[in-house]
Amino acid sequence: MLPNRWNLPDLGFGVGLRSVHYDYILENFPPVDWFEVISENYLSQGGYSFYALEKIRERYPIVTHGVSLSIGSTDPLNFTYLERLKRLADLMDTPWVSDHICWTGVNGRNTHDLLPILYTEETLGHIVKRIRTIQDFLGRRVVLENVSTYVEFAASTMPEWEFIARMAEDADCGLLLDVNNVFVSAFNHNFDAKEFIDAIPADRICQYHLAGHTHKGTHIIDTHSDHVVEGVWELYRYAYSRSGGRATLLEWDEDIPSFEVVHAEALKARAYRDNAHAEGAGSGSAIVSTQKSEQQLLHAFANEYD
Ligand SMILES: [Fe+2]
């Protein structure tokens, strides 16, 4: 087990903050470890959303997670956006600032999609330079997430995992490993998810993401609309056995159930983490014992809410 190289905190098991849960959280202050917020929803620092966030910030650690950095775009960096992001990060005292390894638009147009990158030396040099600039500007560690993809460039000269590992080393940035995204892309592009995870420098992983997806038979869509599937939990346990204690976050963005259901899903991760600690990667008996402790954990969780 390796600590991350900057000793950034393991915040425990968090939930992505969504507006449908504001009232519940503000009335009940549930026993969740931390929240991740979509940065763009709070940049204006106004309205009920920001009021709710400020109240929540008084009780819980907050990490900002952006969707507009567009690190892979050829457009110049948007310093107006970065200034607003810095202000929000400072206000929330977020331990790191995260976004995605993708591009979202070009020529000033935002597609609002996390688009795949061409994995070449030229792209690598371009992105590394931009990450270094952003990290200096924000004065915080930038932590970047692998995305789910459905198409890839035939002109890529290296696999995604090699690109991410080299990018992190050359830019000296952190990584947010979304194990559901690894699972989704592995199925869509027919690669070995564990080979991906093995290539990622564990000491640069600062955070994990977990989420549900929609299996369409021929491909998987990263919908964040359901419970986490067993294969993703197993991949999380595998990744965790390499990295040890890292902040873990459950994302649920469509067909969002009650807060208790989302939080219970996040807490299942604890059982897989404990199992990774106890047995190490690759044990065939891991899943059986994990399921037992997961049940125990859910009972404990129910008691916490009583
Ligand atoms: Fe994610």
| Distance separating alpha carbons of residues 103 and 112, to the nearest angstrom | 10
Residue 243 has pLDDT above 80, yes or no: yes
Ligand 1 centroid, distance to 75 Cα (angstroms): 24
Q: What is the pLDDT of residue 148?
A: 97
Is the confidence at residue 287, as pLDDT, over 70? Answer: no
Confidence of residue 274 (pLDDT cuts 50, 70, 90): confident
Q: How many CA atoms lie within 13 A of 180 on its CB side?
A: 25
Q: Does residue 7 contact residue 28 with C-beta atoms inside 8 Å?
A: no
Report the distance separating Cα 51 and Cα 239, nearest Å. Answer: 37
Closest to 131 (Cα-Cα) out of 71, 204, 201, 200: 71
Q: How far is the CA of 6 from the centre of ligand 1 (A)?
A: 22
Q: How far is the CA of 203 from the centre of ligand 1 (A)?
A: 19
Q: Is 254 helix (H, G, I), strand (E, B) or coil?
A: coil
pLDDT bin (cut points 50, 70, 90) of residue 280 is low
Confidence at residue 273, expressed as pLDDT on a 0 to 100 scale: 86
The tens digit of pLDDT for each residue in 184-233 reads 999 999 999 999 999 999 999 999 999 999 999 999 999 999 999 999 99
Please give the pLDDT value at position 1.
Answer: 52
- What's the CA-to-centroid distance between 97 and ligand 1, angstroms? 14
- Model confidence at 294: pLDDT above 50: no
User: How close is the Cα of 180 to the center of ligand 1, in Å?
Assistant: 8
Domain boundaries, the chain: 13-305
Ligand 1 mean position, distance from CA 39 (Å): 14
Angle, in degrees to the nearest 10, between helices 286-305 and 230-243? 100
Instruction: Using alpha carbons, select from 255, 250, 210 the residue that is nearest to residue 233.
Output: 210
Tell me how far the alpha carbon of residue 273 lies from the centroid of ligand 1, in angstroms.
Answer: 18
- pLDDT of 291 above 90: no
Question: What confidence category does residue 75 fall into, taking pLDDT thresholds of 50, 70 and 90?
Answer: very high
Residues 6+ apart with CB under 8 A from 179: 197, 208, 209, 210, 232, 235, 236, 239
User: According to the model, what pLDDT value does residue 281 have?
Assistant: 43
**Topology of the domain covering 13-305:** TIM Barrel (3.20.20)
| Ligand 1 centroid – CA 255 distance (Å) | 17
Ligand 1 mean position to 28 CA, how many Å?
26
- Give the pLDDT mean for 249-263: 97
Query: What does the pLDDT read at residue 298?
Result: 43
Question: Virtual CA dihedral for 258, 265, 100, 164, nearest 10 degrees?
Answer: -170
Instruction: Give residue 235 CA to ligand 1 midpoint distance, Å.
Output: 14
Ligand 1 centroid to residue 145 C-alpha, Å: 7
226 CA to centre of ligand 1 in angstroms: 14
Pull the structure tokens for residue 248.
Answer: 């873990």
How many residues are there in the chain? 306
- Compute the distance from residue 306 Cα to the ligand 1 centre, in Å: 30
The pTM assigned to this predicted structure is 0.90
Cα(48) to centroid(ligand 1), Å:
25
Rounded to whole angstroms, the Cα distance separating 94 from 143 reads 12
Q: How many CB atoms lie within 10 A of CB 121?
A: 11
Residues 52-68: what's their mean pLDDT?
98
Q: What pLDDT is recorded for position 279?
A: 60
pLDDT at 158 over 80: yes
% of the chain beyond a pLDDT of 90:
86
Mean pLDDT, the chain, rounded, equals 91
